[in-house]
Amino acid sequence: MTAPRYPLVIGDSRVDTPNWIPVDDRATGEVIAEIAAGRPEDVDAAVTRARAALPGWEALGPLGRAEAIRRYAAVLDAHQPVLAETIHREEGKPLGEAQAEVARACEVMHHFAGEAERLWTMQLPGPTLSTGSIVRPAPIGVVAAITPWNFPVALVLWKLGPALAAGCCMIVKPAEEAPLAARMLCDLATEAGMPDGVVSCITGDGPVLGEALCTHPGVDKVAFTGSRRVAEQIAAWASPRLKALSLELGGHGSLLVLDDGDLDTAVEVALVQGFANCGQACYSVNRVLIPRAMEQEFVDRLRPGIAALALGPMATDRGRDRHAMLIEDARAKGATVEGGALLDGNYVEPALVTGAGPGMLLVDEEPFTPVVAVMPYDDVDEAVAEANRPDYGLVSYVVGGESRRTLEVAERIECGTVVVNGWRVVVPYAPYAGWKGSGVGAELGHPGLEAFIRWQHLRVLA
């Protein structure tokens, strides 16, 4: 049986291309679909359609857009099961994790429908009611969203929700490794009655489409999530053209356990966030920093939890190879590694590493594979310095007693998000921001909405 083909989504049109890219089921290797390999001329068509849609979409006003986003969110809700199943197959995430990703991402869409309603214009009145300073939030314009494969639905909706609320039009370029669910989101915009051209999806080769989008004069902003290597390339295209940019990049999460911290909580945080999505999460716990006296008990409690994990397959072949390389590097440099073997197909064994330290790749660079290193410390300042050492600053975790000291330590961690005494990271109403090498700008919360706004001051003198 031939795999179904999914054309480009250019507003209300569905466009075939001369070439197609196979997408496989990560668990079985079976080709489940072919996606259109978009070309620069397809990018141009999508940008033209978006520019044509922009004035009408803005003119709908905040309340009109809120209604349209709410309708769209309801259609997405109705498709949650198929979206989750699609992610599960194309990316390999266990179905329960895929369902959670889709459910949380749909909440983001509802949140930004509400944010559209609260998009106030401000006025500082002059001597008469019609004079003074009017400050209004105008949409930044046409936005290209370039997204990775590890959270293929969430990372599109984190951009699409606020962009639509602000009055922008968006062209989504999902990762070629897992493009189906992201494309489906854009396909459903038509079903939800979004005006033609407001939402498009161009699938295909990253570098070719990245260059076409980032250099196109009709694109006002590029919102990117992915690796630092690609972010630098995107900035090199977009910055000389003075396009607005937001970059959400990788992390190297630490879990700092204080001497009055609850060990069960620490073990739970390490297990859930060390191995979620097979370690392929930007908010992963990569290093556990623990008082030396507590290390052995922590490791003894973590070990059976790791043994009981049921991980999905790795989403990419290069991720699988990287797992083997990181473990070999750590062993060669003197660490003790439990687990970490390559298994059949795309599966790997999770790894627990002790005796690791700076100079080992998995301690210095984002691993992006299921591996957690446990590193003992002797005083808290030393632990905070290690938490802040690598050039990342996305998400870290602190487990400590319910005291002021725990919060003071959390504040000293140079990360956009620090989670205290638990593992749930993301809420729609608070910003998710990468500090240092983890990015520029923020998604979600009010900052995530402002990222799609340009302010206009109408200085009305008479």
CB of 62 to ligand NAD, least distance (A): 26
State which residue has the least CB distance to ligand NAD: 210
Binding residues for ligand NAD, per CB under 6 A? 146-151, 155, 173-176, 206-207, 210, 225-227, 230, 233-234, 248-251, 282, 366, 368, 394, 434, 439
Tokens representing residue 148 in the block: 């990775």
Nearer to ligand NAD, 72 or 368 (CB): 368
Residue among 171 and 290 whose Cβ is closer to ligand NAD: 171
Closest contact distance (angstroms) between CB of 103 and ligand NAD is: 18
Beta bridge partners of 374: 288, 354
Nearer to ligand NAD by C-beta: 285 or 290? 285
Distance in angstroms (rounded) separating the CA atoms of residues 230 and 245: 13
Exposed, middle or buried: residue 317 (CB in 10 Å: 0-12, 13-18, 19+)?
A: exposed
Catalytic residue among 106, 201, 282, 415: 282
Beta bridge partners of 287: 254, 373
d(CA 92, CA 113): 30
From the CB of 345, what's the least distance to ligand NAD, in Å?
20
Residues in CB range of 213: below 8 A, 6 or more apart:
43, 47, 144, 146, 171, 173, 202, 219, 222
Confirm whether 248 is a catalytic residue. yes
Per-residue burial over 397-421, b if 16 or more Cβ lie within 10 Å, else e, is: bbbbeeeeebeebbebbbbbbbbeb
Which of 248, 349, 386, 443 is catalytic? The answer is 248
Cα 256 to chain centroid distance, Å, stands at 23
For residues 119 and 281, which CB has a smaller minimum distance to ligand NAD in the complex? 281
CB atoms within 10 A of CB 235: 17
Q: Letter for the amino acid at 164?
A: L
In whole angstroms, the minimum distance from the beta carbon of 280 to ligand NAD comes to 7
Q: How far apart are CA 258 and CA 379, in angstroms?
A: 10
Choose between 233 and 421: whose C-beta lies nearer to ligand NAD: 233
Query: In the beta sheet, which residues pair with residue 269?
Result: none
Check if 117 is active-site: no
Q: Minimum distance between the CB of residue 283 and ligand NAD, rounded to whole angstroms?
A: 8
Q: For the CB of residue 37, give the shortest distance to ligand NAD in the complex, in Å.
A: 12
Closer of 137 and 434 to ligand NAD (Cβ): 434
Nearest Cα to Cα of residue 256 among 389, 78, 70: 389
Known catalytic residues are 248, 282
